[in-house]
Structure 1
Amino acid sequence: MQHSTDLLMGSLSDISRFAATLTMAELGLADQLADGPLGTGELAERCGAHAPSLRRVLRELAAICLVTGAGPDAYALTDKGAVLRSDVPGSVRSSIRMLGEEGFWYAMGMLPTTVRDGGSAFVKRHGHLYEHLSRNPASSTLFDEYMAGRARTLIEGLTTRYAFPPEATLVDVAGGKGHILAAILHANPGMRGVLIDLEHVVERAARTLADEGLADRTEVVAGDFFTGVPAGGDLYLLASILHNWDDGDAVRILRGVRDSMKPEGRVLILEVVLPDSEEPHLGKDFDMRMLAIFDGGAERSREEYATLLDRAGLTLTDVVELGSGANLIEARQH
């Protein structure tokens, strides 16, 4: 009984620790401490904070080893805290800030209401996530940074663990700013790419692909995957797309892809695949966010993806582990 109580009390402490970590990320404390220790007063001045309040947060951050004391009322950044710097590979600063974004914070706090009602409290208040982001440019920029950071953690696994056909055309469906497509094309010099996304996104994607020196190997198309995707591709990539939608909409998206692909083409779905066991898993944590933020959005098991694919006229042929909790699901036409 005591062990169970201790575990639950630890969970209660986690929200306070996350709030302190979020404050560190929002105020850019790791960036300010990158060159060496600073006194609390100077640190507060640099990041525009109230020094007495900041001192209390630093005390909590020291307790979780993100900073460490460096003399009277001074603190230094630890190796653990350094991943909150903006300029380091694998930085988690944008991820922490996105989870603390006003709408996301509200969504997680309202999860009990969502579960009671069977519909997302976030959606009732803010509308669909992408509507919320379109109305809030700062949140949209933060979300783009978060997604780009998340993509970087997946790209190595995607480009080294899956054998792309050497001269294929890859259609990146809702490809965002094009970071994943660019990485695949760099790793496979004979391939070409087409990126489709909404009107307000594709201009940024075109800039990204041009900056990567890939303008002559890519085409950027404005469109909505519910109304159609470019035809004739050899591969269709859906990266972090299907988990945003309920089963009915996911099948609609997949059917549109199936109808557009070559008969021998493949669908590649980049998602977290839930395990069948009851062990802790990153996908189960993500699933709570999907439940809170989307009406019907969900992480799914291999069997659930196989069922969706079958309803869309596709057969699951492989699941490739990519690391960082992600998987690449391959499917072909029946």
Structure 2
Amino acid sequence: MAELGVADQLADGPLDTEELATRCGAHAPSLRRVLRELASVGVVRPAGADGYELTEEGSVLRSDVPGSIRSSIRMLGEESFWYAMGKLPETVREGRSAFVARYGELYEHLGRHSEVSRLFDDYMTARAETFTRNLVTRYDFTGVGTMVDVAGGKGSILATILRANPGMRGVLLDLDHVVAHAKELLAAEGLAERCETVAGNFFDSVPEGGDAYLLASILHNWGKDDAVRILRNVRQALKPGGRVLVLEVVLPDDAQPHLANDLDLRMLAIFNGGSERSREEYAELFSLADLELEGVTELGAGACLLQAKPV
């Protein structure tokens, strides 16, 4: 349903199966069987002799609504990500990612496949929606004249911060193939004059002179040594009195059900070394990079903003 865009086609009202199949580029008899199953789980319902309409539950699969999960579902079903989870037993047996063995490192894989890269960027934007919205209402950005978004992707988080703080300027660092997408989004948001995009690799260096450096869903991709290396580069570039802001889904301290536990298995499947971490583990990373954890802001959806300062 997500991949074919069924919910988008049903957004304006019910359609018969033949018409819906034409709009979705699908084989009508096959789609009819899928719609029957979709109706049984409540995301569409029958309308007329051979038609269907969208339910409230199914509306989250539209691409144009707040809280849409369409890009998330499409990302989970993308061939290489599906392979990663399907090969999880092999990864657990060997202690090495079967995904990496077949496709290479994730960001190299994305760099070679532009459609997968764009889908991944859309997924990350949708995934960040809840905690990005809370970020600008729950965290005080007073004193931040320049925000450097390290590996900022399409720039959706930075754009939200800049809109909420009109006096702030931004710098977005990411790889070559990602920066082009960021320029598009920032221009569309009317922020091109307030935000510079820089192509580079955070293992080499990050842009200097920021009052705050944001690392959103970055450190969990890397093992301990690499994560500390990234933080040290940020520490070196930071202005006196500056702050480091790490936005991550943080593991709970007990065995309660938590999104971070599910995400940690996906990190296990897709990366060699990447993992979700507890607050104590992030505090340890900061300490190894001559930084000190000084505050944690809950952002919802399992995410936290961890603020660190130079020691």
TM over 0.5: yes
| 1:148-194 deviations in Å (ceiling 9; x for gaps) | 22233222111000000245211111111222111111111222211
Q: Secondary structure at the match of 1:254?
A: helix
Residues 47-196 of structure 1 aligned to structure 2 (within 5 Å): 47-196=24-173
Structure 1 regions of 5+ residues with no counterpart?
1-23
**1:304 and 2:281 equivalent?**
yes
Partner of 2:243: 266
Cα separation, 2, equivalents of 1:78 and 1:157:
28
Alpha-carbon distance in 1 for matches of 2:72, 2:309: 34
Q: Measure, in 2, the Cα distance between the counterparts of 1:325 and 1:295.
A: 23
Structure 1: distance between partners of 2:29 and 2:285: 54
Aligned residue number for residue 210 of structure 1? 187
Aligned-pair distance for 1:92? 1.0
CA distance in 2, matches of 1:51, 1:222: 46
Q: Distance in 1 between matches of 2:23 and 2:193?
A: 45
Deviates more, 1:130-139 or 1:76-85: 130-139
2:259 maps to: 282
Q: Separation in 2 of the partners of 1:307 and 1:259? A: 18
**Alpha-carbon distance in structure 2 between the residues aligned to 1:73 and 1:98:** 30
Give the Cα separation in 2 of the matches to 1:202 and 1:71.
48
Equivalent residue of 1:327, what SS?
strand
TM-score using structure 2 length: 0.96
How far apart are residue 55 of structure 1 and its match? 2.1
Report the Cα distance in structure 2 between the residues aligned to 1:167 and 1:248, rounded to whole angstroms. 29
Give CA deviations for 1:87-107 in whole Å, capped at 9, x if unaligned: 212211111001100000000
- 5+ residue gaps, structure 2: none
CA, structure 1 residues 71+211, in 2 after alignment: closer, same or farther (shift >3 Å)? closer
What is the match of residue 21 of structure 1? none
For residues 167 and 281 of structure 1, what CA distance do their matches in structure 2 show?
A: 32
* Secondary structure in structure 2 of the residue aligned to 1:184: helix
Please give the root-mean-square deviation of Cα atoms over the aligned residues, in Å. Answer: 1.4
Instruction: Say if 1:254 and 1:312, in contact at 8 Å, map to a contact too.
Output: yes
The answer on 1:199 being equivalent to 2:176 is yes
Contact 1:166/1:191 (8 A) holds in 2? no
**TM-score, normalised with respect to structure 1:** 0.89
CA contact (8 A) 1:166 1:190 kept: no
Distance (Å, rounded) in 1 between the aligned partners of 2:215 and 2:261: 20
Distance 2:146 2:218 in 1: 20
- Give me the whole-angstrom Cα distance separating, in 2, the residues matched to 1:225 and 1:68: 49
CA–CA distance in 2 between the matches of 1:206 and 1:27?
28
Partner Cα distance (1:26, 1:295) in 2: 29
- Equivalent residue number for residue 230 of structure 1: 207
Amino acid in structure 2 at the alignment position of 1:137: S
Q: Which has the higher helix share?
A: 1
DSSP 3-state at the match of 2:297: strand
Query: Comparing 235-244 with 186-195, which one deviates more in the overlay?
Result: 186-195
2:197 counterpart (220, 223, 233): 220
Which residue in the other structure is 2:299 paired with? 322
Contact 1:166–1:188 (CA<8 Å) still a contact in 2? no
The number of residue pairs the alignment matches comes to 311
Task: Give, as a single letter, the amino acid of the residue that structure 2 aligns with 1:90.
Answer: G
Match of 1:9 in 2: none
